[in-house]
Structure 1
C-alpha cells in the first residue's frame, strides 16, 4: 500500500533533526516566544470554537416547553431523585420555549456537523495554498456571527435554527485543518506535543467554562444570553488574531532571529519545497493515514456523544438542575484538559530525552487514551443513582481521553507535516460523522430516558473506541512518509 515506503519502527532517526548533518542550532527560549504566543492565541481560538459548540447543549434544557413533564421549579422529572439548587436571584425567564420532541432535539444538536463536515478538506487545502491565518480567522468569525443570530432563528422555527447551526458548522469546519497547517510551519518536531496540546487544551477549557457559565446564564437570566455572551467573546478573539498572528515565522514582524532560525532549521528536512502538487493518490492510499482516520472517528463517537448529551443525561437521569448541571458536566473536561496538557509534556520528554520512538509514544498514548475511557464509560451505566460515582467515572473516562491528544491526534504532523492541514481535513471529515449521527442515534435509543437505554448508548461508544485503538496500534506510523517530501534526509 502506498504511504508505507520503508516506514517501520526501526526506521526512525536516532537523533533529533536539529543535530543531523552536523548542523546544531540552539533551541530558542520558550518564554515570550512567537511560537508559544501563537499557541496561546490558538488555545483561545479553540476556547471560542468549543464554547460556541457546546452552549446549545446546555441551553437546550431551558429552550424546551416542559409544561407536560415539569416536576419542580427548575428541573424536569428524572430517573433519580432530583436535587434542589439554590434559590434564584432573578426570575427573568422571558425567552421563548419550544415543543420539540426527542427526535427533533437530536436533529438540532447534530445539525452543526452537517456544515462542519463540508469544509474540512477545503479548509486544509486553502490553508496550504493561501496561508492559514485568514482562512482560520474568517471561518471562526462566520461562526460567531451565526451564533449571535441563533435566538432569532429559533423563534422563526426549527428549520431556521437547523440552517443557522449548519452555517455555524461551515465556519468552524476550517478551524482544525487550518491550525494544523499553521503548526506545520511553526512547530519544531521535538516540541509538537507541547505546542499542540497547549492549543488543543483550549477545546477543553472552552467546554469547562461554557458548560457551567451557560447554566448560570440560563438560571439567572435566560437562554438567549448564552449565545450573545459567547458570541461577543468570539469577536474579541478575532481582533487579537487579526493583529497578532502571521502565517509563517519568516513573515512574523516581532519574532527574534534566533527563534526564526531554530524553527526553520528544525523543519528544513521535513517539509516539501512546494505544496502546489498534492500527491492525492499516495495520501488516500496511505495506511498510516487510515489508521488515524479510524482512531479519530472512534474517539469522536464517544467525545461528541458526551459533548452534546451529557447535560441531558445529568438532567433526565441524575436529576440535577440546570445550574448544577453545567458545573457537573464540566468536570470531565477539566480532567481531560489537565491530563492532555501534562500528556503533551510527557510525550515530548519520552521522545527527546528518553529517545523513545515517536510511533511507540503515539501508540501507547492512543491505547491508554481510548481503551481507558471505554472501560469507565461502561461503568457509568452501572452506577445507578450513585451520583458521586457516576460523575467520578465520567470524569476519569474523559480525563484518560486527554492522552490521545499526544497520540493519534498529533500524528498528522509526524507523517506528513507539509500536508498536515489536508490530512487533518480528511480525518476530521470522517471524525465528524459521529457528531452528525451520534446524538440522533443516542436520542432515538433513549426515548424513555431509562438507565438501561443509556447503558446501550455507553456500550456502543465504548466498543467503537476499543476498535479504533486496536486498528491504530496495528497500522499507525511515526515517521515522515516518502510521498510527503521531495527529498528525504539520509539515514
Structure 2
C-alpha cells in the first residue's frame, strides 16, 4: 500500500492523508494509549502543584494590605499550628502567583531542542522529582518571607517547564497522525484534571489540616509519579518490551516519513520567516494569557464577587475544570473523527477548533460583566469559559506537529516560551490592576484578554497552514 510509487509521493507531500486505519491495531488497550495515560498523570501532578497556590493564597493571606507591607513572618496568624497567614499586598500576591512562569520561561527552548536529540526519560523524571521537592519546601519558604516563596516557585517553574517541553518530542515517535488529536488531548487533559482536583480538595485540606498540607501532599504525590515514570516509560516503540508486533509496525509505518533524524542544524532563518509559525505562536500566547487568568485568579474572583468561604471557593473553582476535562477529551475525539472520515481538511479542523478555543471564551468572559448576573449565572459562564478553552488543544496547540514534525520539540518549546510570557504578563498585570482599581478592575482584565484573543485569532485564520512546510521536508534535512 505505502510502497507504491504514487502513494509514496503523495505521502511525502501530504503525510497526514494516507495512513493505516487505526482499527487494524489495538486501540485503548495499547502501549501508545498507556503512554498517553501515564503522561496524563504526570501533567496532572504538574498542574496540581502549579495551581494549588491560587487557592491556598486565599488562606495564606490574612487580610488585603495595600500599604506595601510585604510579610509578617511570625506575626498575624489564623492558627499558629496549621494555618499561618501573612500580610502580603495584592502586588506581592500577583508576583508570587506569576513567579512559577518566570522559571518556566527558561527551559522551553533548550529542552525543546535537546529532547529531539537526546532521551527524554531522564529529563521528565528528574524534573518531576525536583518540582515535587520544591512543593515540599514551599511552606517553610513562606514562613521566612515572600522572597523565598518567589525563589522556590521560580525554581519549581524551571522543573515544570522541563516536563512540559520534553514531552512534546514523545509524540513524534509515538502518535500516528490520525490519532494525534485523541492521544495529545488525553495527555494534555491531565493539566485540566489536576487543576480541578486541587481546587476540589484544597479547600477541605486547608480547613481541616491547614494549607501547608496541600503542598506536602502534592509534593509526595509528585515523587511517586516520577518513580513510576522511570519504571514505565520507553523512548521508542521498538524498545518497549510489552508492545505487540502489530502495534509497533503500525506506529513505525505511519510515521515512516517523519521520525528520521534531522541534520545537525536547525533551519532557524526559515522558521523566523514562516508566517504559519508566527500564527501558531501568537495563538498560543493568547491562549495561555487567557487560561492563566482564570486558572490563577478564579478563586480571587469568586471570593471578591460571590464572597464564598474557602471550602465553597475550592468547589466552585474546581467545578469548571471537571467539565473542561471532559470537553478536552471529546474535542480530541471529534478532531480525529473529522480527519479520519475526511469530513474536513486538516487545515479546516485546526482553524475551527482554534476559533472555538479563542473566540468563545471572549464571549463568555464578557458576559460575566453583565450587571445583576447573580450566583448561578456567574458559575455557568465560568464553566462555559473553561469548556471552550479546551478546543484549542486540538487546534493551534498541536499545529506545529502538522507543519514541521521533525522540529516539533523545538517549535513547541519556542511557542510555549512565548505562551509563558503571556502567563507571566497576564498574572502580573492582573495583580497590578486589582490593586489599583477595585470597582472596574475585572472589566479591564477581561476586555484586555478579549482584545488579545481576537487579534491573535485573526492572524491565525489568515496565515495558518497544516501541510509540512518546505523547510521541514526530508530534502531540507539531507542537505544539512
**SS at the partner of 1:299?**
helix
Q: 1:173 aligns with which of 150, 156, 161?
A: 161
Q: Deviations over 1:185-242 (max 9, x none)?
A: 1000000001000011101100110112111111111110010011111111111111
In terms of mean alpha carbon deviation, does 194-203 or 95-104 score higher? Answer: 95-104
Residues 1:453 and 2:436 aligned together: no
**More RCO (CA 8 Å, sep 6+):** 1
> Which residue of 2 is the match for residue 60 of structure 1?
57
> Which residue of 2 is the match for residue 32 of structure 1?
29
How much does 1:271 deviate? 3.2
CA distance 1:328–1:347, shift in 2 (3 Å):
same
Quote the Cα distance in structure 2 between the aligned partners of 1:352 and 1:385.
Answer: 42
CA contact (8 A) 1:25 1:265 kept: no
How much does 1:94 deviate? 2.9
CA contact (8 A) 1:317 1:449 kept: no
> Which residue of 2 is the match for residue 111 of structure 1?
99
CA distance 1:92–1:395, shift in 2 (3 Å):
farther
In terms of mean alpha carbon deviation, does 282-291 or 364-373 score higher? Answer: 282-291
Q: What TM-score does the superposition give when structure 2 sets the normalisation length?
A: 0.90
> Which residue of 2 is the match for residue 301 of structure 1?
289
Residues 1:51 and 2:39 aligned together: no
Q: 1:266 aligns with which of 236, 254, 263?
A: 254
Q: 1:395 aligns with which of 383, 386, 390?
A: 383
Quote the Cα distance in structure 2 between the aligned partners of 1:332 and 1:431.
Answer: 22
Q: Deviations over 1:392-415 (max 9, x none)?
A: 111111211111111001112111
> Which residue of 2 is the match for residue 336 of structure 1?
324
Quote the Cα distance in structure 2 between the aligned partners of 1:397 and 1:413.
Answer: 26
> Which residue of 2 is the match for residue 282 of structure 1?
270
CA distance 1:203–1:468, shift in 2 (3 Å):
same
Quote the Cα distance in structure 1 between the aligned partners of 2:291 and 2:93.
Answer: 18
CA contact (8 A) 1:300 1:431 kept: yes
Within-5 A mapping of 1:357-368: 357-368=345-356
CA distance 1:145–1:183, shift in 2 (3 Å):
same
> Which residue of 2 is the match for residue 188 of structure 1?
176
> Which residue of 2 is the match for residue 8 of structure 1?
none
Root-mean-square deviation over aligned CA pairs: 2.1
Quote the Cα distance in structure 1 between the aligned partners of 2:16 and 2:286.
Answer: 33
The gaps in structure 2 that reach 5 residues or longer are 1-11, 67-78
Matched length: 454
> Which residue of 2 is the match for residue 475 of structure 1?
463
Residues 1:314 and 2:315 aligned together: no
Quote the Cα distance in structure 2 between the aligned partners of 1:39 and 1:234.
Answer: 17
Quote the Cα distance in structure 2 between the aligned partners of 1:58 and 1:464.
Answer: 26
Quote the Cα distance in structure 1 between the aligned partners of 2:343 and 2:14.
Answer: 10
> Which residue of 1 is the match for residue 17 of structure 2?
16
How much does 1:284 deviate? 2.4
Q: 2:186 aligns with which of 198, 205, 208?
A: 198
In terms of mean alpha carbon deviation, does 353-362 or 403-412 score higher? Answer: 353-362
Quote the Cα distance in structure 2 between the aligned partners of 1:318 and 1:196.
Answer: 35
How much does 1:65 deviate? 2.0
> Which residue of 2 is the match for residue 411 of structure 1?
399
Q: 1:140 aligns with which of 128, 138, 143?
A: 128
Quote the Cα distance in structure 2 between the aligned partners of 1:251 and 1:276.
Answer: 24
Quote the Cα distance in structure 1 between the aligned partners of 2:140 and 2:450.
Answer: 38
How much does 1:295 deviate? 0.2
Q: 1:125 aligns with which of 104, 113, 129?
A: 113
Q: 2:362 aligns with which of 347, 362, 374?
A: 374
